[in-house]
Amino acid sequence: MSPVLKITPIEEWLPVSDGPMIIAGPCSAETEEQVMATALGVSSIPQVKIFRAGIWKPRTRPGAFEGVGTVGLTWLQKVKEQTGLLVTVEVANPRHVQEALDHGVDVLWIGARTVVNPFSIQEIGEAIGNHDIPVMIKNPLNPDLKTWVGAIERLNGMGLKKLIAVHRGFSFFNRSVYRNAPMWEIPIELKRMYPNLPVVVDPSHICGNRELIPATMQKALDLAMNGLMVETHCNPAKALTDKNQQVTPAHLAEILSRLILRRESGNSEFSYKLDELRSEIDKLDEELIDILAQRMKVVEEIGIYKKANKITILQLKRWNQLAQDRIEAGVKMGLSREFIIKLLESVHEESIQRQIDVMNREES
């Protein structure tokens, strides 16, 4: 069982408005002019509540632009004064926390590279101490829910209650159109574990390019995520970091105006119909599980037979043939190729494990 998180609802510390809560601002603060121009641009969009800008930006390889450092905090103070937006920066160590607190930063965020390290999370939590400041926790680089949850639980255990998880996608060895694979099942599982923890989606780091951003934002809303963090720059072509994934304030406003907002629940007639369909799903899932269990029984019988005849578990020819047949059959039934392959691989892996268990079983 997961411990209960004590979370202060966002509405208690952030003004509410219709639609998702938006965090916007450049990947990096570069100059005072760029920060102010971007901030003024996004401040006219009603859903934008928080202005972001990275000021400490150690890069994967040294030598490139590494952020403007502390001077950027004075620009953020100006943003607050002139626009009324809350401001947020990434902090990666206790010195960053101290400087951010000294300059009146409203919200802190912890980046994907820092979240992987529980030592850093502990130090950051200690540096925050009794300051009741909201903290956004990005997912770690690798698709590891436990590390993400661990950082959230650690900070919550240290007394921080204004927490938001930020889904920014995961590095993934398979080639993909995304810079960081969204693997939506991971933030969905996080929501299942902690329904009271707000989850904000960062489509910029998921997509890595502007073109995929609108569809990813819509998907986030369709999955009932609680807000969006979108990298926004007054002149993306000239951005010193992440130039391909930043949008102008005007482009952000346009994307937001096209998003379709759906409710999480509807009227009673809707609920009734939904319940009916859900019970159909429950029944089908029950049958599916029953069939899988029956399949594994037959797999074990085959294992016993192979063992008795000293035959290898993996029979490549059979597996290739079977996979081809099932993919064809599935595609004919309207299932996607990728889905059947994933399903077959998972069933096959379990089947092999069952037969390994049979081989290793002591005869009684």
- Rounded Cα distance between 276 and 305, Å, is 44
Q: Which two tokens stand for residue 208?
A: 């890595």
Q: Which two tokens stand for residue 77?
A: 């103070």
- Rounded Cα distance between 246 and 243, Å, is 6
**Residue selected from 14, 21, 22, 27 as contacting Mn ion according to rule CB under 5 A:** 27
Which window, 81-89, 110-118, 296-304, 345-353, contacts ligand PEP (CB under 6 A)? 110-118
Dihedral angle, C-alpha 247, 38, 106, 57, nearest 10 °: 70
Distance of CA 52 to the CA centre of its chain: 18
Q: How many CA atoms lie within 13 Å of 65's alpha carbon, on the beta-carbon side?
A: 15
Which window, 10-18, 84-92, 237-245, 258-266, contacts Mn ion (CB under 5 A)? 237-245
Estimate the crossing angle of helix 337-360 against helix 316-332, to 10 degrees.
Answer: 150
105 scored as a contact of ligand PEP (CB under 6 A): no
- 111 binding partner (options Mn ion, ligand PEP, none; Cβ < 5 to 8 Å by kind): ligand PEP
**Residue selected from 49, 167, 168, 179 as contacting ligand PEP according to rule CB under 6 A:** 168
Minimum distance of ligand PEP from residue 15's CB (angstroms):
23
Which window, 29-37, 108-116, 184-192, 265-273, contacts ligand PEP (CB under 6 A)? 108-116
Rounded to 5 degrees, φ, ψ at 108 are: -105, 150
Applying CB under 6 A, the site for ligand PEP has a residue count of 8
Which window, 105-113, 284-292, 311-319, 345-353, contacts ligand PEP (CB under 6 A)? 105-113
- 219 binding partner (options ligand PEP, Mn ion, none; Cβ < 5 to 8 Å by kind): none
- Rounded Cα distance between 169 and 178, Å, is 9
**Residue closer to Mn ion (CB basis): 54 or 303:** 54
Binding site residues, ligand PEP, CB under 6 A: 27, 54, 111-113, 138, 168, 205
